[in-house]
């Protein structure tokens, strides 16, 4: 008997009036925004090594934000229609790794990747930033797959409000990686089973280098406890009907990195994303990712490998794919400033001093922000996410007119009317900072919103 990836034995529980939109944060603070807010007919709205080997306590959730208004949903999710996830390739019953030889597991990993179209341009997981509206914007401008923000596996299993507010998806949001942080195999499996009908990979975050990951004993700090990492991967690989992927950082020593990657593949990982920096190398603007380490991992494994790091524009994409041999690239920070990166658009920063000829692409970040806000009206998210994207996309604009940024910061309760008004104010001040394309790059957005 054959089944579709989208069909799961335990469907996601959610109230009948809510749409298929899944979210993550302690959301006892959440309430729905009134649909009365409209504008121009728009829709309403970590520790020592020894600590990790002995600690058994689950990671603690982050403290709640200080600004309660920013944690409210930006519009009413009841205005949306529920649509079942569909379009995933059918596979035989059982996990991709259950009772299979290493060669068979690799063959299945590649078959699944090929069935998804071998996506090369991928939105990286970003806490509070790779949410559904932003993913949809990036997909419109060339992204071929995307990760959700990192989801906390324990809170996800325990709190319905957390699930319904932090993980959101829709039929068009594919291929999709749903990423969890975890340090308990059973809890991770429970969380993963809730999302497997709605995604193409369940991903384990093994790369977060932040202080909260150290405190919670997850992410890159599990590199100190490889038996636990192995058990997490095996638990999912032996029990899920979708493939397991992992996202890692490199060790200071290449041989340690290669042994780590081989262990993950042997445990059942079907796809590995490699960030070419160590967990101590947190500043991506000052420290270059090591593409040679990614190339070594790619040469050592038999499964698809993705590269993460140093992606600022499409020239970097092509260079990275050529130098590493990777099967795709992930971009994070640059996409936050320029969600049209994968469609060939560049900010002025990356064309200064270039020997190639560039021209105005007839697109700017203010226009992209308006498109993002429209996606937010369709797919509600907490205001804190929207506020963050405002600062990222309009950062260069705010440097020229800081009074507009100050006005945004002073507004404790956001509305779409207010945000559209800020964009209009920047335009009224005569400001426009274009995105650029190469003269030979003819980027066209088709009627269905896809970059061609």
Catalytic residues: 208
3-state secondary structure 295-334: HHHHHHCCCCEEEECCCCCHHHHHHHHHHHCCCEEEECHH
Contact 380, 75 (CB under 8 A): yes
Q: Reduced to 3 DSSP states, what percent helix, strand and coil does the chain have, rounded to the nearest 5?
A: 40, 15, 45
Question: Rg of the Cα trace of the chain?
Answer: 21
| Length in residues, the chain | 452
What is the C-alpha separation between 202 and 237, in angstroms, rounded? 10
Nearest one of 432, 422, 363, 421 to 391, comparing CA atoms: 422
With 0-12 CB in 10 A as exposed, 13-18 as middle and 19+ as buried, what is 440?
exposed
Core vs surface per residue 39-51: b (16+ CB within 10 A) or e: beebbbbbeeeee
d(CA 41, CA 447): 21
Which phi and psi (to 5°) does residue 234 adopt? -60, -40
Strands (E), 94-249: 121-123, 145-147, 151-152, 176-181, 201-206, 244-249
Render the burial of 79-91: b for 16+ CB within 10 Å, e for the rest: ebeeeebeebeeb
Strand 434-438 relative to strand 358-364, pairing? antiparallel
Give the residue among 318, 310, 366 at the shortest CA–CA distance from 340: 366
Contacts for 176 with CB less than 8 Å, ≥ 6 apart: 135, 145, 146, 147, 148, 169, 198, 199, 200, 201
- Kindly report the CA angle at 15 between 12 and 21, in degrees rounded to 5? 60
- DSSP symbol at 160: H
Give dist(CA 87, CA 448) in Å, integer. 17
């Amino acid at each position: 008997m054959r089944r579709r990836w989208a069909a799961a034995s335990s469907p996601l529980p959610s109230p009948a009036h809510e749409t298929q939109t899944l979210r993550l944060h302690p959301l006892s603070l959440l309430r729905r925004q009134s649909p009365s807010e409209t504008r121009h007919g728009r829709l309403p709205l970590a520790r020592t090594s020894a600590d990790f080997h002995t600690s058994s306590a689950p990671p603690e959730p982050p403290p709640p934000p200080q600004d309660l208004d920013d944690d409210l949903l930006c519009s009413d999710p009841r205005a949306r229609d529920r649509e079942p996830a569909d379009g995933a390739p059918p596979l035989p019953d059982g996990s991709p790794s259950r009772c299979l030889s290493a060669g068979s597991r690799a063959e299945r990993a590649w078959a699944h990747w090929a069935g998804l179209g071998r996506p090369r341009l991928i939105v990286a997981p970003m806490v509070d930033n790779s949410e559904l509206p932003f993913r949809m914007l990036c997909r419109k401008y060339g992204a071929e797959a995307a990760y959700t923000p990192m989801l906390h596996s324990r809170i996800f299993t325990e709190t319905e409000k957390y699930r319904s507010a932090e993980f959101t998806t829709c039929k068009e949001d594919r291929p999709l990686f749903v990423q969890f942080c975890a340090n308990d195999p059973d809890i991770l499996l429970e969380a993963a089973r809730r999302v497997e009908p709605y995604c193409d990979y369940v991903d384990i975050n093994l790369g977060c280098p932040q202080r909260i990951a150290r405190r919670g004993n997850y992410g890159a700090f599990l590199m100190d406890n490889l038996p636990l990492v192995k058990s997490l991967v095996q638990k999912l690989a032996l029990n899920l009907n979708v493939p397991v992927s992992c996202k890692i950082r490199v060790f200071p020593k290449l041989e340690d990195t290669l042994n780590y990657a081989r262990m993950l593949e042997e445990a059942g990982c079907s796809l590995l994303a490699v960030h070419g920096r160590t967990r101590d190398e947190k500043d991506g603007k000052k420290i270059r990712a090591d593409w040679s380490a990614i190339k070594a991992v790619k040469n050592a494994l038999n499964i698809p490998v993705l590269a993460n790091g140093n992606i600022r524009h499409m020239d970097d994409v092509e260079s990275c794919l050529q130098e590493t041999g990777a099967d795709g690239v992930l971009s994070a920070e640059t996409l936050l400033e320029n969600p049209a990166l994968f469609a060939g658009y560049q900010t002025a920063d990356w064309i200064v001093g270039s020997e190639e000829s560039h021209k105005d692409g007839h697109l700017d970040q203010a226009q992209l922000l308006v498109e993002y806000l429209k996606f937010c009206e369709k797919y509600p998210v907490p205001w804190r996410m929207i506020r963050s994207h405002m600062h990222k996309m309009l950062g260069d604009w705010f440097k020229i007119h800081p009074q507009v940024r100050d006005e945004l910061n002073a507004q404790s309760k956001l509305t779409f009317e207010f945000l559209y008004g800020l964009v209009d104010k920047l335009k009224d001040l005569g400001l426009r900072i274009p995105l650029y394309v190469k003269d030979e790059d003819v980027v066209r957005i088709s009627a269905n919103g896809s970059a061609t």
